[in-house]
Structure 1
Amino acid sequence: MPKGSTFLAVFLLLVTSTSRAESWPGAEWSPGPQATGPAVEALQAYAFPQRDDATRKGVRTDALLVIQHGQVVYERYAGPTQRDTPHLTWSISKSIMATVLGVAYGQGLFQLHDPVAKFYPAFQAHPGVTLEHLLNWSSGVAWQEDYEYAPLNSSVVAMLYTLGHADMAGYTAGQGEDAPPGRSFRYSSGDSNALAAALRGIVGSQRYPDYPWTALFDPLGIRGAVWERDGSGTFVASSYAYLKARDLARIGLLMERNGRWQDRQLLPRAWVDFNRRAFAGYKPGQDEAVGGGQWWLNRSIDGARKPWPDAPADTFAALGHWGQALYVIPSAGLVIVRYGDDRDGSYRHNELLKLAMTAFGPKVQP
């Protein structure tokens, strides 16, 4: 090949790679080249086995969407879920609220070290708890995050369905203290709902009902999001945001690109770094992944194995009950949304991530 042709080929390759890396969705995602082959078939076989709707056993994926370099490369739905179905995200709502708060942080409306009580007076019972403590699930407020297997001992069941459902943040504020703030990790849906109550004080009561939309959803082009509020009018940040898979992927792309959306730095880079920084008091094995700022990290802590050993170390995620997941893998340019209805613990994050990396991860050139 002539030297000029070689130079032109390299130049075009660089331009194409740059263009691909900077692809952004408009009103709809632009489909990229749809992946095929044995690796994709293996991923699909794991995610979509024959569905058992009678006993609700086994892996029961409702949606699997893979975005690579800003383009849709794989998409499939099952059960009652379709492309235009806002799906219950459960605890992915926590990471969404953290992202909304990131916009307010970028507007200079609060600092991480601010006491929660500054914005939510009910937390005067816990004067040493800061917004950073809530974001790190380290408030020290007494809490039992038990679900179906221990409902009588569960703080979260009482908050969502019985004693606290009319005012979930108030229920959390009324709990005692079992550790000094900032000292230890304890996953708590109460901490997340207290953040939602603090947001009202941060942005003001008039702006509050629309703030997730004006601050985050509208700039990202998210349409049709639903976020339930409790009897006090506070967003249920622990559990009750509903988004289409493609809309949730927009939040993943925002995080994958360090808070930038097209030509706008919607989230400060420092905020994204905080979300992706492991809480210093987290101990290996305390949860299914390493706790960050209301996001989950695939980090090795104190020499322990990564939570998802077959995924890159920079993988982070928003996770929810019954198999909801938003995985972000910056080193592979991947954003993966997985919605599910898993009731028996059959689904494994690492297995899906391993298969996804085989199908879509960087290929080693010979």
Structure 2
Amino acid sequence: MSAIAFSVRFLLAGLTAAVLVAGRAVAEDWPGADWTRRPVAPGPALAAFEAYAFPPRDDGERSGVRSDAVVAIRDGVLVYERYAAPTTADTPHLVWSVSKSLLACLLGVAYGEGRFGLDDPAARYYPPLAAHPALHMRHLLNWTSGLAWEEDYEYSPLTSSVIAMLYTRGHADMGRFVAQHQAGAAPGTHFSYSSGDSLLLAAVLKGMLPAEQYADYPWAVLFEPLGIGSAVWERDATGTFVGASYAYLNARDLARVGLLMLRDGRWGEHRLLPEDWVAFNRSPVPGYRPRAESLVPGGHWWLNLPLEGAPPPWPDVPEETFAALGHWGQALYVLPKEKLVIVRFADDRDASYRHNDFLRLARAAFVVGEAP
């Protein structure tokens, strides 16, 4: 069955599916064309959450409120959503580096199709990496390529590799631009967050697929099976997806990706992502040394795990929490123990927002039901 046929069949099949728990079938809620809705009741906990998530903002350049959108899904049911103009429920919002985790999901489908292994040399699929024969797929996915890359943004435009890749000398062929960087460390020996590594993964995926399949691949194998209709993903002049930065989805659709990951790669009665792939996404980068209040990197996702005696970066949420995060406050949070998925879109530029505070208040509003 084609991915498109599967998508249509699933959407027509209804909103529930069963999973075996302790040997018995348990019904689960899944979205069809839309989400089932059971809004949380108003109360002090919800009011405290909204006071944090949507306070008025006026910093001289931007006015409005702190968040552009928040959508919360509890065990497959939409329990909360709110938008701030001009963002609406239908707005495909730029998710910035959340794109990296979307790319990880897309690669997970390719991995499940047997197109590559984690220890395959990346140059096997992208010849411009021939100068880096020891660079393997897992290194790119763990941001441990060792390439000498400067992950700076608008604050350091003259030295930023990202600015050069997206807007100046590298923008026409982003993959080749990244591949031309020199090695600064041996692959797998040093974690350094890199949009260049993510862009290379998009170029590598292109080399795994027949030329006629690549442009439609995200929709055919991921977005359409999940029922996502709002997705836009920009490509460079060579046709390579800008897998580091330039995906757009509306909040309800991004929440579908969160539900996929919450349920370990299953969608209804079908498995889109292999279990070992999701386990890799949620495993810390080998040898990573924790930094104060910094999330732990996984396989192109961010983890809340305590390491080497350091506390979880977000102490007020379960340590199993993981997230996809993007520039200026874009976030897809997954809290497995709470069966909770939260999407947040924003335009944060004043450094006042705190993930832990947001999630502490969200748990109180959507799970505990009590004021914090």
TM superposition score normalised by structure 1: 0.92
Contact 2:293–2:314, Cα closer than 8 Å, also in 1: no
1:282 and 2:274 correspond: no
- Tell me the alpha carbon deviations over residues 182-240 of structure 1, each in whole angstroms, 9 at most, x when there is no partner: 01100000000000000011122111000000010000000021000011110000000
**Structure 1 equivalent of residue 259 of structure 2:** 253
**Structure 1 equivalent of residue 268 of structure 2:** 262
Contact 2:45–2:369, Cα closer than 8 Å, also in 1: no
**Structure 2 equivalent of residue 45 of structure 1:** 51
Contact 1:58–1:344, Cα closer than 8 Å, also in 2: no
Given candidates 136, 145, 148, the residue that maps to 2:151 is 145
1:169 and 2:175 correspond: yes
Question: Pairwise CA RMSD of aligned residues?
Answer: 1.9
Given candidates 188, 192, 196, the residue that maps to 1:186 is 192
**Structure 2 equivalent of residue 72 of structure 1:** 78
Distance 2:222 2:184 in 1: 35
Displacement, 1:345? 1.3
**Structure 2 equivalent of residue 344 of structure 1:** 350
**Structure 2 equivalent of residue 6 of structure 1:** none
1:167-246 mapped onto 2 (5 Å cutoff) = 167-246=173-252
Query: Which structure shows the higher helix fraction?
Result: 1
Contact 1:59–1:347, Cα closer than 8 Å, also in 2: no
Given candidates 297, 301, 323, the residue that maps to 1:295 is 301
Residue segments in structure 1 that go unaligned for 5+ positions in a row:
1-14
Deviates most, 233-242 or 44-53: 44-53
Distance 2:351 2:288 in 1: 24
Contact 2:65–2:84, Cα closer than 8 Å, also in 1: no
Displacement, 1:54? 4.1
Contact 2:40–2:80, Cα closer than 8 Å, also in 1: yes
- Structure 2 SS opposite 1:66: strand
Distance 2:38 2:132 in 1: 50
1:82 and 2:88 correspond: yes
- Structure 2 SS opposite 1:67: strand
Letter in 1 for 2:46: V
Letter in 1 for 2:220: T
- Tell me the alpha carbon deviations over residues 126-150 of structure 1, each in whole angstroms, 9 at most, x when there is no partner: 1110111000000001111111221
Percent identity over the alignment? 60
Letter in 1 for 2:239: G
- Tell me the alpha carbon deviations over residues 302-356 of structure 1, each in whole angstroms, 9 at most, x when there is no partner: 1112111111101000000000000000100000000001112111111101111
Distance 2:369 2:105 in 1: 32
**Structure 1 equivalent of residue 277 of structure 2:** 271
**Structure 1 equivalent of residue 318 of structure 2:** 312
Contact 2:69–2:82, Cα closer than 8 Å, also in 1: yes
**Structure 1 equivalent of residue 335 of structure 2:** 329
Distance 1:306 1:208 in 2: 38
Displacement, 1:283? 1.5
Contact 2:293–2:313, Cα closer than 8 Å, also in 1: no
Displacement, 1:51? 3.1
Displacement, 1:19? 9.5
TM superposition score normalised by structure 2: 0.90
Classify 1:171/1:231 alpha carbon distance in 2 versus 1 (closer, same or farther; 3 Å). Answer: same
Distance 1:73 1:22 in 2: 15
Residue segments in structure 2 that go unaligned for 5+ positions in a row:
1-20
Give the number of equivalent residue pairs: 348
Distance 2:116 2:267 in 1: 22
Contact 1:58–1:346, Cα closer than 8 Å, also in 2: no
Contact 1:57–1:342, Cα closer than 8 Å, also in 2: no
Contact 2:140–2:198, Cα closer than 8 Å, also in 1: yes
Classify 1:139/1:57 alpha carbon distance in 2 versus 1 (closer, same or farther; 3 Å). Answer: farther
**Structure 1 equivalent of residue 133 of structure 2:** 127
Distance 2:300 2:292 in 1: 15
Contact 2:255–2:332, Cα closer than 8 Å, also in 1: yes
Letter in 1 for 2:153: Y
1:354-365 mapped onto 2 (5 Å cutoff) = 354-362=360-368
Letter in 1 for 2:34: E
**Structure 1 equivalent of residue 112 of structure 2:** 106
Contact 1:332–1:362, Cα closer than 8 Å, also in 2: no
Deviates most, 198-207 or 67-76: 198-207
Contact 2:103–2:202, Cα closer than 8 Å, also in 1: yes
Displacement, 1:286? 7.8
